Structure 1
């Protein structure tokens, strides 16, 4: 075989294996994700409906931010007295990405999901370039404990579950 043919064979073999390695279990929804408001005309397989602020809106299935984008977090009691909110500090690359996304998404909604459950929604009123995102409500004790296993608290170097 020639070198280009060997390279093509290796590439095709790798492409067949990558989807198996990169994908998680179908239906597995853990951690935190943020989903940007989509347009009603977007591909229906790429959006999901959600009632927000008294109206039915659609959001992108593919999240803009996920748990792996979070460098640290700090929970706080929610104002409604039911559960917690959390301040999330983004990693540098996620901070830059989120800044770009929010600059083009002013006056659009974003929903926060925790373990697949929508817990909060906020309107983007300006570009967010400080790398801090807040979920204001809807997080339970068990979810805070689980997050402590994978992400450090703001100001700490390691997750509390990994001593």
Structure 2
């Protein structure tokens, strides 16, 4: 019994420092999740209200921050937040084209910095490797993205 108690105490001591790291030095957390059925495995989905209706989304993202090559922020139409355009790496761009082709008519939401900030209905395949989040990034979040991602180079016409 004493052995088990010592083991449990050791586990708690190890768990504390591992979870105390916080976000310092970690890459920006942005991911994109596709709509799914509410009848899917409850451990693999999460609910979110969209336009007054509860919808369900996959917990496992289709695209994550590690798939981004660069980004470009812009002022949102609401004049209170920012949007961002994300350029995907080669394989991620191909994967996203396949996902958007297979899931037309479904919602795609952006989970950024721990909250859902925007969503769109997929109306056509996205084959240019660009994902746009139209609003709800704060200036602080844009600064965090700047720490981990380069800006998309300005095009010369």
TM tier, smaller: 0.7 to 0.9
Q: 1:101 pairs with 80, 99, 102, which one?
A: 99
Shift of 1:53: 1.7
1:71 is aligned to 69
Length-normalised TM-score, structure 1? 0.77
Shift of 1:38: 0.9
SS in 2 for 1:119: strand
Paired with 1:31 and 1:50, the residues of 2 have a C-alpha distance of 19
Q: Following superposition of structure 1 onto structure 2, how do residues 1-163 of structure 1 map, counting pairs within 5 Å? A: 30-155=28-153
Shift of 1:54: 1.9
SS in 2 for 1:127: coil
Shift of 1:92: 0.3
Paired with 2:69 and 2:52, the residues of 1 have a C-alpha distance of 33
2:9 is aligned to none
Paired with 2:79 and 2:118, the residues of 1 have a C-alpha distance of 14
Shift of 1:74: 0.5
SS in 2 for 1:149: helix
| Structure 2, unaligned runs of 5 or more | 1-17
Give the alignment's Cα RMSD to 1 decimal: 1.9
Paired with 1:108 and 1:118, the residues of 2 have a C-alpha distance of 16
- Runs of 4+ aligned residues of structure 1 deviating over 3 Å after TM superposition are none
- What per-residue deviation string (whole Å, max 9, x for no partner) do you get for residues 107-129 of structure 1? 00010011111000100001111
Give the length in aligned residue pairs.
132
Paired with 2:153 and 2:110, the residues of 1 have a C-alpha distance of 23
